[in-house]
Amino acid sequence: MKKYVGITIGPIANALQYAKDPQSLWFACAIFSEISREICELITAPNSTFDEVVIYTPYYFHGMKIDDGVAKTHDRIVFSANHVDTSVLDRIIRLVKADVCDLFPVEYQSNEYRDFLNRYFQINYICLDENENLNQNCMMSIYPYLRDMEQLQTEEKETFLNPFYDLFQLGDNERSFRIMTSPMAHLIKKGSAQFFNIRGEFKSVFEIANPSKPEGRKTVPFYCLVRANGDNIDNLLRGFSENKKLISFSIACLQHSITASELIRLFGGMTVYAGGDEIFFFAPLVGNDGSTVFELCQRIQQKFYTFMKNHLPWSNIPTLSFGISIQRNSHQVYDAFVETGKLLNVAKQISDKNNTAIRLTNKNRKECIVINNDDIDVLLDLFEAGLDICDGMVTIERKRLQLLESIAVIDEFESIILSVGEMARSGNLRPEEYLRSLSSIFKGGPMERNPEYLKIILTLYYKKLVRKPKQIWVPEFDDENGRYKKANHYDDEDSSVKVFKEILNMKEDLLELQEEKASRFS
């Protein structure tokens, strides 16, 4: 008789909390991904007792390569088969746990550590006889069971004999050495530029922040963490009336994962996880090709849309939302990982999703903006104006002083700029008329002290935020609970000037960071 099986694997969140650097996060994600991949491999093996196996999620083909190092197999497996014997399934789970124990550094392969990991890895499943609902959309029928089992997962607080805790708490050099010597790291093909530096070691956040660059480009002491996943995916899956459509979705997700991780590699970043519709990666602010991380996310989004459109032509094509955290401290990697999750949540709370939430952490300031992905060009134009990181002709200090003075002008004359903007919006003033109106107000003052730079950014403000208002929000950060409040779209009362100032403040923070020494990463 045909049966449907759902498997959930955990507790990955518990392991991630101990991570201190990119390789730690990668190692934890890779271990759990390998558990999922090997279960898929064993249930589809030619000598398996299961018959006519069909895996609906994740998409898997027997012998799938993992030498690119990217964790691509997520923590939920749904499949159907004939002759499903739960005792065989239990044996497969025991075999997989034993195999995964072998992927830790040799120091953690003693019987004591293995016993701990056998208890630590929580692999649970539900096995159901086929029925009409399962035959039509098995994923939506099984997922509620998996969610219930995940809520019952125990959080392992005992750190004694916990290999993740012990390994990740080691000093930087020793931790790096042990992870490099693990069989898990050896699965990555030698010379992988995404993970390793020219010395064959895992990249540090400083090396990720400063990828190979053309001669003359300055190094920068900050890096980006990015998390992304699809919007309204539950609604999408719920609308599928045939299980084969679930397979089409899983194929699209795998193609998206592989392509996104390749784009990230070419950019100079490191993909920690790319499974299902989710991605998490480290990246420099400016990549090998001179483009920004925001443009990289644009390319990833466009590829995601293409794959979904090709494989799901009968449905509404899902969009992708991003949380981007720009960080300055290499010793708070896990905190930054949590931060990107908060940013992603606030991005998905606003409008129809399809947003990018961006925050730069600098000292005590928490600049954050959320931009609809269709309007991301607004950020790119305003963000890049006067901020050519490659340009050594004008000093960073000079750029920053220009920007600070411009921000002060906007603060001082905010009500006037807003009033002229309202006139422009209602009367459809041309750019030169708009600037002429402001120039007459500023005559003998700020416009003449710093004419060119102020003219550039005010022209962009007019074109991007006055003449054609875009979907951009400024969420408030609630210090009491450490979350972002849902932001409303700016209107006449909230004004686009607030958004304009927030982008400029973020630029000023980045220029300030560029003036700092890279020793912050030591």
The reply to whether 327 and 256 lie within a common domain is yes
Domain's final residue, options 123, 158, 192: 192
The reply to whether 42 and 94 lie within a common domain is yes
Compute the C-alpha angle 251/254/257, nearest 5°: 150
324 close to 406: Cβ distance less than 8 angstroms? no
Rounded distance between C-alpha atoms, residue 237 and residue 329, angstroms: 39
**Residue 197 is assigned to a structural domain of this protein:** no
Rounded distance between C-alpha atoms, residue 223 and residue 293, angstroms: 10
Alpha carbon separation from 406 to 165, 232, 463, 489, 500 (Å, rounded): 48, 40, 18, 25, 11
Residue 252, domain extent: 204-522
Q: The domain spanning residue 76 has which CATH number?
A: 3.30.70.2220
Give 265-291 pLDDT, tens digit per residue. Answer: 999 999 999 999 999 999 998 888 888
Q: Are strands 483-484 and 51-57 parallel, antiparallel or unpaired?
A: unpaired
Backbone conformation region of residue 498, classed left if phi is above 0, alpha if psi is from -120 to 50, else beta = alpha
Point out the residues of the chain with pLDDT beneath 70: 191, 212-221, 329-331, 362-366, 385-396, 425-429, 431, 441-452, 467-469, 479, 482, 485-495, 512-522
Give 445-488 pLDDT, tens digit per residue. Answer: 655 555 567 777 777 777 777 766 677 888 877 767 767 766 65
The reply to whether 378 and 461 lie within a common domain is yes
The reply to whether 332 and 241 lie within a common domain is yes
Q: Residue 366 has what pLDDT?
A: 63
Q: Residue 263 has what pLDDT?
A: 95
The reply to whether 216 and 351 lie within a common domain is yes
The reply to whether 256 and 178 lie within a common domain is no
The reply to whether 186 and 208 lie within a common domain is no
**Residue 21 is assigned to a structural domain of this protein:** yes
113 close to 161: Cβ distance less than 8 angstroms? yes
Neighbouring CB atoms inside 10 A of 495's CB total 18
Alpha carbon separation from 489 to 453, 465, 484 (Å, rounded): 28, 12, 15
The reply to whether 419 and 495 lie within a common domain is yes
The reply to whether 409 and 513 lie within a common domain is yes
Q: Residue 388 has what pLDDT?
A: 46
The reply to whether 121 and 245 lie within a common domain is no
The reply to whether 181 and 247 lie within a common domain is no
**Residue 104 is assigned to a structural domain of this protein:** yes
pTM over 0.95: no
Question: In the structure encoding, which two tokens stand for residue 335, read together?
Answer: 């905190």
Q: Residue 491 has what pLDDT?
A: 44
Question: In the structure encoding, which two tokens stand for residue 138, read together?
Answer: 């098995």
Domain's final residue, options 131, 159, 192: 192
Number of compact structural domains in the chain: 2
Q: Residue 478 has what pLDDT?
A: 72
**Residue 199 is assigned to a structural domain of this protein:** no
Domain's final residue, options 160, 192, 224: 192
Reference 12, options 217, 186, 164; nearest CA is 164
**Residue 15 is assigned to a structural domain of this protein:** yes
Rounded distance between C-alpha atoms, residue 413 and residue 168, angstroms: 51
Q: Residue 51 has what pLDDT?
A: 92
Which DSSP helix (H) or strand (E) runs through 61?
none
198 class by beta-carbon count within 10 Å (0-12 exposed, 13-18 middle, 19+ buried): exposed
Q: The domain spanning residue 282 has which CATH number?
A: 3.30.70.270
The reply to whether 9 and 32 lie within a common domain is yes
**Residue 198 is assigned to a structural domain of this protein:** no
**Residue 180 is assigned to a structural domain of this protein:** yes
